Amino acid sequence: LLIIGDGPSKEQIVELIKDEKIADNTLMICARSNLEELFSIMSVYASPSVNEGLGLSLLEAQANYVPAVGFKTGGITDVIEHEVTGLLVEAFDTKALAGAIVRLIQDEELAGQIKRAAYKNVWEKFSIINMAENTINVYKEVVK
């Protein structure tokens, strides 16, 4: 288990890792600006955020062919289309989140379909050029 990030829940997470006796199988590192080298060792990227604006870390995972799982909240639903570009579960449903992670690990065919569709979606929908064109189109509509 690779946990990336540092925040107010860090101590609780450390205690949970100890309580569950998974310290030997867990690596916890502080937030990093460049995650590309870590994506190569990931089977699934899980984002348990409930306050995500766009889900940039999800886009980064998808752009690196890592299938993603997230809560059905905020901007995460802009990035993940359930069962197409990732898996979505209800917010705060940690059992469902764990189940979705296990599902992608066990179902290699589904994980492969999702990561290919997500990769394509990232570059078609969220590329810099596409985002700039969409912004220009919004400005054009506003001034009409």
What is the distance between the alpha carbons of residues 113 and 123, in angstroms, rounded to a whole number?
16
Q: What is the pLDDT along the chain (144 residues), one digit of tens a residue?
A: 998 887 888 899 999 999 999 999 998 888 666 677 889 899 999 999 888 778 888 999 999 999 999 999 989 999 999 999 999 999 999 999 999 999 999 999 999 999 999 999 999 998 888 889 989 999 999 998
- For the CA atoms of 22, 4, 71, 124, the dihedral, rounded to the nearest 10 degrees, stands at -140
Whole-number pLDDT of residue 32? 66
* Domains defined for the chain, CATH in brackets: 1-31 (no CATH), 43-143 (3.40.50.2000)
pTM for the whole structure: 0.84
Encoded amino acid at 109, one letter = E
Which secondary structure element, helix H or strand E, spans residue 17, and what is its range? helix 10-19
Whole-number pLDDT of residue 90? 97
Reduced 3-state DSSP string for 54-108 = CCHHHHHHHHCCCCEEEECCCCHHHHCCECCCEEEECCCCHHHHHHHHHHHHHCH
What is the number of alpha carbons within 13 Å of residue 23 lying toward its C-beta? 6
Report angle CA 52, 55, 60 to the nearest 5 degrees: 150
Q: Is 3 helix (H, G, I), strand (E, B) or coil?
A: strand
Smallest Cα–Cα separation from 49: which of 86, 97, 95? Answer: 97
